[in-house]
Amino acid sequence: MLDIKWIRENGERLQAIADQKGMEVSIKELLEQDEHKRALLLQIEPLRQARNKLSQDINLLMQTGKLEEAEQGKQTVKEWNGELAGLEKKLAAAEQACKRLLHQAPNIVSPDTPVGRSDADNVEIRRVGYPVRLDFKLRDHVALGELHDMIDIPRGVKTAGSRNYYLKGAGVLLHRAVQQLALDLLIRKGFQPLEVPLMARAEALTGTGFFPLGEDQVYAIPDEERWLVGTSEVPLVSYYSNEIVDVAEPIKLAAASTCFRSEVGSAGKDVHGLYRVHQFSKVEQVILCEASLERSEELLQEITGNAEELLQLLKLPYRVMSVCTGDMSQKTYKQYDIESWMPSRDSYGETHSSSSLLDFQTRRSNIRYRDAQGKPRYCYTLNNTAVASPRILIPLLENHQEEDGSIWLPPALRPYMNGVERLVPPGGPVHNEASV
């Protein structure tokens, strides 16, 4: 959420940003409602003051025996109260309209964010590693999962519907291994791990910018006024809602959690395998820092670097993309996507995302710190997906497959896989390494 004073002075600029982000929001309507609200306040405040003054005068008149004048005053107060009731009703409606429209307004975007309409307009920043070109017949991650009896999608669909799955055996171990590797990496870099709620109230989702515009992506829990979170970013940021915090050093939080997304609007998109599913697990990194563009940019590069380090440990080729305006969410100021090479797609696929949000979330969540002069200011927030599984299993299995169906495991994963160096299909060839 932005400062309404700033919006009053930059309405046209903000509307242009909304248009670039592909958002259907009217900044003009917001400013009209804001003007209407302020006009009502100009009527209400003097009338309230006059009523309160007259009420005090009536008490004095009663004490001095001037009963007739006191009765006239009471009649006037009654009339003013009736007038105020009508104005305050209009004010409440105007305030609600302003709040609704303010929650729909976008965050500003960084000067170096490319302008574009979709992910096709994202700009490649750098590429690390080389796409794998196999000299044997490729198996995609689903075929590899079936060969190793580690992925069962038909039974997942039978049990829970489309975009659901079971992981079995080595699939479960890999799923947990990549998460623990990511979490251990973040802990070494000073992040505080938290176990977080997977359900949240509407205030938490609104405070972090996922409501109202993203409500159709979230699973509701009927009759409880709670929702299943699609990322631990929600409970991590909300941990400090309505508090004044110390950001002399950035607050670095991390969580490994199950996430749920309805994927409304993605019908027919990426339906094969594990790329786009309703339930997944994610290790998230969240940072709260002082309101400094320079510091937040440093931290954005840091959390992006953490995700890159994870991919390098997994020996996966990837590229970093600067996300354009049309592919950004409402709340994002600047964003990088990291795409890993997926042989079965013969292209890169998004596996990580890093975002800088400035004070968009903290204004909504009321998270502040005191600056050098002791003045309360809103913090800046940043977030990044350190790893998301099972999507990361797609490049992990496909890039490291061997002709006989075995899957080589990067050294960094082996301590989390009981020392296993290679996964061998059940009944398949033995390469003198341990197998699971």
Residues serving a catalytic function are 261, 276, 350, 353, 391
- DSSP-derived secondary structure for 195-216: ---SEEEHHHHHHTT-TTTTGG
Distance between CA atoms of residues 213 and 222, nearest Å: 19
> Which single residue is written with the structure tokens 């090479």?
341
C-beta atoms surrounding 195 within 10 Å = 10
Phi first, then psi, for residue 286 (nearest 5°) are -130, 140
Q: Residue 101, class by beta-carbon neighbours within 10 Å (0-12 exposed, 13-18 middle, 19+ buried)? A: buried
Which uninterrupted H or E stretch holds 108? Answer: none
According to DSSP, residue 117 is labeled S
Return the biggest CA–CA distance within the chain: 108
Token duo for residue 236: 């991590």
Q: What pairing do the DSSP bridges indicate for beta strands 192-193 and 251-260? A: parallel
Which residue(s) pair with 186 in the sheet? Answer: none
Pairing of strands 334-342, 318-322: antiparallel
Report the alpha-carbon angle 151-155-161, nearest 5.
115
What residue type is assigned to position 234 of the chain?
V
* Residues ≥6 apart with Cβ < 8 Å to 243: 366, 367, 368
- Prior bond of 212 cis (ω within 30°): yes
CB-neighbour burial class of residue 259 (10 A; exposed 0-12, middle 13-18, buried 19+): buried
Question: Residue 435, class by beta-carbon neighbours within 10 Å (0-12 exposed, 13-18 middle, 19+ buried)?
Answer: middle
